[in-house]
Chain A
Amino acid sequence: MTRHAIVATLDVVLLIAFLALETPGASTGFKFHEWVGIAFVGFFVVHVALSWSWISGTIGRLRQDAVPRIRVNFVLNAALFVMALVAIVSGFLVSDYLLPSAHLTTSDDPRWRNVHNMTASFLLAVVGLHIALNWNWIKGAFRRYMTRQSSRDIGGESDS
């Protein structure tokens, strides 16, 4: 698997986990929601780690004369990072199964639940914008995947 393929696969997994997390009532149930939340933390850390060269490169470029697209992308990604962090931390704070089952006391303060629910809701919009700004990358990855599939179908080479 190429690095590109790994990143793209992880992104799809991340999106599926995110969608499951966004619908605990109807899809996962609240107990499983917390397990998916923990798995999400792992995917999220790897996603950020794989983007590390972009992050450090962009910080360098911001100090010089970065074009507006780069600035907007950086601000959006920073917002996404902070909001995901708030959703995760507040999720642990209101945990109803996992932490209590490890004998850790969590909060029953509705304000923390609201923080969790609100950041989760606004994350939907920010994730949409994140997809919008990286649309060309996504299209490219999809095209590459389709080309590899069709070259495999006609007995061509694969790059795994």
Chain B
Amino acid sequence: MSAAVIDRAERSRRRFRLLELTVVVLALFPFSIFALRSSDGSGPRLVSTGRPGRAPVRRELTRTELRDRRARTQPTLADALLDVSIQLVWIGLAAWLGRRWFALRL
């Protein structure tokens, strides 16, 4: 096999691995966001409002309800550190994947 063919095979193998990694990261992102966005510890931002005999309807909390919940939760320094670290991990992952993609294609 010529060097050019090996080179092309290696590149497409690397590209495929990178694609796999990117798909995994993209799949994890929404979980992290929905978990994170109640980072104040106040839990999900949806409440059920059901009339008897009817299926419950989910609605978003109002601003006043959110404010009340947040006033009841006192995040600790550990919460803050954990939350900032999670954001850093996401920025870092995007930067790392981005660098690999750009190195392959640009």
Contact = CB atoms under 8 A, between A and B. Distances in A.
Interface in B16-49: 29, 33, 36-42
A110 B58 CA distance: 13
A39 interface: no
A96 B63 contact: yes
A112 to B, nearest CB: 10
Q: How large is the interface on B (under 10, 10 to 19, 20 to 34, 35 or more residues)?
A: 35 or more
Given A26-B39, A121-B33, A108 B63 contact: yes
Interface of A is mostly: helix
Contact of A25 (B33, B40, B59): B40
B83 A26 contact: yes
Contacts of B67: 30, 96
Interface of B: 29, 33, 36-42, 59-63, 67, 70, 73, 75, 79-80, 82-84, 87-88, 90-99, 102, 105-106
Contacts of B96: 128, 132
Interface string A103-114: 000001010011
A121 B37 contact: yes
Contact of B80 (A23, A108, A129): A23
A99 B26 CA distance: 36
